[in-house]
Structures are given as structure tokens and as C-alpha cells.
Amino acid sequence: MDLLEYQGKQLFARHGLKVSSGEAVGSVADAVRAANAIGYPVVVKAQVLIGGRGKAGGVKIARDESEVAEHAERILGMDIRGHTVRTLWIEHASDIASEYYAAVLLDRSAKRPLVIFSVEGGVEIEEVAEHSPDKLVRRHVDPLGALTRAEALDIAAAAGADEDLREGVADALVALYEVWSEEDATLAEINPLIVTPQREVRALDAKVSLDGNALYRHPENQGLSDRENQDEIERRAAEEGVQYVKLDGDIGVLGNGAGLVMSTLDVVARAGGSPANFLDAGGGSDAQKIRQAVELILANDAVKAVLFNIFGGITRCDEVARGLIAAFAEISPQVPFVVRLDGTNDREGRRLLEEAALPNVHTAKTMNEAAEMVVALAADKGVGAAA
């Protein structure tokens, strides 16, 4: 679960990390009111879960009321690479002497928390890693403990932070690690971690991902999700507990098992099509669940054809067929379906579908055949004898 900048900063503040004071607002009037209370100059920052906000014009400095109104008006509702801006973060503009980088993340291959720090911040950290890897200090931390002050000071020194700043950097690193470990984060990143002309170290941005599987331990974080900025169908799917990811194409896809669904998307793309979504129906597939899934897929107006790719293990193909037949009776979809049933009780499933003779539902035996059929149908070319 990725947090917006301001949500991340609120978590930071809770753990003693220094951030600029600010306010999250959703309207021009509130932006002006917040800016007047905070004091000028302020920064008006679009709250979206995508990088490159600055380049897209989503981050602006305002020196007075009219500038705040002007920027807020322009940024609210702006589309930044597919993300609509619904919230602005207004904070006091900081004077910046230097920009550092700090992060705590999950090092999957070492199976350890990893602290990364660099005195070269404010740029893409991947670039620093590539061009001057010596400027990047990386330290694994014992997952049972905390980042100690001594370790943090050592990291600051190893990275070449100015001597008078090492205490401030160590404070920030210890607090950042606390955010990571106590909030069950999988990523806690500050880029940039700034040094002010007064030699104060402060987080100017916040990128935090929390582990959805651990939310039960953090009831206070449950409301924090990115839902306000999420795609409408994804939001609905999350509420219904369905694994759904919206994509750019026009072929709806449903399968059982995350790996098989990912593979299905790839096979559709190879057949020349473009998937409209990822949807993992998981195990067990009663009519109710199938109907819910079909409704989610069809809620996307771009969908021109739908592919069901089921390899039945524990999931029985006849149950999927019954579910689909029941779903059709209730919602009569207007687009063609291709259904590939293989595995447990596949013959029975295919027989049920043929018997039901659902309008515009085609069956396929293999994944590749199914992909080709659905791509042809989405392109309105028909499937010939295969129907």
C-alpha cells in the first residue's frame, strides 16, 4: 500500500522525523486558507502516486495569496501520467543548502532490512548508484533490533556528511528506521533529505509503502490508503477483495492464480492484443464470485472482448462454467467471451457451456488458441469455425 507524500510525512512526524509543517487540502479555497495560516512562501504540491510531479507542473512555489489560488486552480484535477490530482499538500517553502538521500527498504535477496544513505540526493537514486556507487552507503540491519545511533552516525560519516551534520543525519536515519520497523513498511524513502542554511536536516519528500498483510497490526493506518487517487474500478475491486489491476488495453482477462493471469496477459499481448486488466479469481469459483468478477471487468468501457483462462486444480472447471452461466443470466454481457477450461473436470465444464449456448461465448482448449480467438474478436474479425 503506497502512501501519498503527506501521509508519509505525517507518519514521519509521528516518529520524530523533522518535516515542514503543512496541510492537505482538496479545494482552491482551502489551499488559500492553509497557505495564509502557514505563512509565505509556500509550496503547492500535487499528491499523486507517481514520480515526475515537478516536471509535469505539479509542484509550484507561491509567494502570495493570488499565486496560491492560481497554482491550486491549475494543479487540482490535473492529470499526471494517468493520475488525477485530487489533493494538494501546502507546506512552508524550505531554503535548501544541500540535498541528501535516505531510505530503508526490504533487501529481498539478502533477506534483511537495508539502509541506504547518500549525500547526493534530489536526483534519481538509480543514477547515483550507476555513476558514483561509492557515494552510496548501504548497510544491512539485524531485523530483530533497531538501527542504533552508533550505526547511524557511522553511516553518516562513511557517506561523507559534513561533521556538524552527522548528528542530524543520524537522528533522521534512526527515526526513518523506526518508521520502517514499527509501521510494517516495505519502503521508507526520503528524497531529498535536505540541509537548510541553518544546518537543520529535514525530510522534504516522503515515499512510504506499507505492507498490506500487516495492516491488522496498525488499525490507525487502515484509513491511509491511496484510494482517493486510485482508479475507480481498482478501488471497487479492493473493497470486494478481488485482485484487480487496470491496464490500458481492450481485452478483459480473468484467470485463477496470479502467475497464470500474468502469463495470460503476456500470451494475449504476444497474439497481438492488449489486455484491459489483470484479475485473479483465486481458488473456488462460485457463481457469485464469477459474477462479481465479470461486472468488474465490464465496468471498464474500453473492454471489447473477455478471456477466461482457467487451469483447474482445486478450482473445478464445471463450477466455473456454472458460475459463468449464472452470471450471464443475471447481467447479459454485450461483448464476446472466450473461455478456456483445462484441468479438473474440464470436459464437463465445456459440455455445460456448450449446452447453455450462451450468446457470443466461445470455448477454447488451450491458452494460445484462446488468446488468438479473443484477439480476433476484440478486433471484430470473428473467430470463424472456432465458435
Partner 1 sequence: MSILVDEGTRLAVAGMTGREGSFHTLNNRRYGTNVVGGVTPGKGGQDLEGIPVFDTFEQAMREVQPNTAMIFVPPRFAAESILEAAAAGVQLVIAITEGIPAHDELRVSYLLERDHPASRLIGPNCPGVLSPAKANVGIIPAAFFKQGNVGVVSRSGTLTYQIGNEISQAGFGCSTIVGIGGDPVPGSSFVDVLDLFQADEQTELVVMAGEIGGSAEEEAADFIAEHLSKPVVAYIAGFTAPPGKQMGHAGAIVSGGSGTAAAKARALESRGVRVGRTPTEVAQIAVEALGGAPLPAS
Report the interface residues with partner 1, using CB under 8 A: 2, 49-50, 106, 108-109, 111-113, 126, 142-144, 181, 184, 186-187, 211-214, 216-217, 243, 245, 247, 255-263, 265-270, 275, 278, 280, 311-314, 342-344, 365-369
| Omega within 30 of 0 (cis) for the link into 41 | yes
Distance separating alpha carbons of residues 270 and 264, to the nearest angstrom: 10
Q: How far is the CB of 310 from partner 1 (least distance, A)?
A: 9
Q: Which is nearer to partner 1, 276 or 324 (CB)?
A: 276
Which residues are within 8 A (CB) of 368 and not within 5 positions of it... i.e. 6 or more apart?
267, 271
Q: Which is nearer to partner 1, 109 or 198 (CB)?
A: 109
Q: Which is nearer to partner 1, 33 or 235 (CB)?
A: 235
Active-site hit among 6, 100, 101, 244: 101
Q: How far is the CB of 247 from partner 1 (least distance, A)?
A: 7
Q: How far is the CB of 89 from partner 1 (least distance, A)?
A: 20
Q: Which is nearer to partner 1, 13 or 245 (CB)?
A: 245
Q: Which is nearer to partner 1, 140 or 199 (CB)?
A: 140
DSSP one-letter code for 3: P
3-class DSSP assignment, residue 105: strand
Q: How far is the CB of 217 from partner 1 (least distance, A)?
A: 7
C-alpha cell at 191: 528524497
Give the gyration radius of the chain's Cα atoms.
26
Active site residue 178: no
Active site residue 216: no
Q: Which is nearer to partner 1, 158 or 314 (CB)?
A: 314
Q: How far is the CB of 33 from partner 1 (least distance, A)?
A: 33
Across the chain, where does the E strand assignment appear? 22-25, 42-46, 59-62, 79-80, 83-84, 88-92, 98-107, 112-118, 136-140, 185-195, 201-203, 207-210, 243-246, 251-255, 277-280, 305-312, 337-343, 361-364
Q: How far is the CB of 371 from partner 1 (least distance, A)?
A: 9
Q: What DSSP line would sit under 322-376, residue for residue?
A: HHHHHHHHHH--SS-EEEEEEETTHHHHHHHHHHHT-TTEEEESSHHHHHHHHHH
Residue position matching grid coordinates 531529498? 192
Q: Nearest to residue 171, comparing CAs of 189, 148, 187?
A: 148
Active-site hit among 91, 151, 178, 189: 189
Q: How far is the CB of 34 from partner 1 (least distance, A)?
A: 29
Return the sign of the alpha-carbon dihedral for residues 26, 29, 32, 33.
negative
Q: Which is nearer to partner 1, 94 or 309 (CB)?
A: 309
Q: Nearest to residue 176, comparing CAs of 103, 121, 106, 111?
A: 103
Q: Nearest to residue 361, comparing CAs of 387, 326, 329, 343?
A: 387
Classify residue 351 by burial, with Cβ atoms within 10 Å: 0-12, 13-18, 19+: middle
- 92: β partners: 42
C-alpha cell at 101: 538521500
Residue 30 one-letter amino acid:
D
Residues that are catalytic: 101, 189
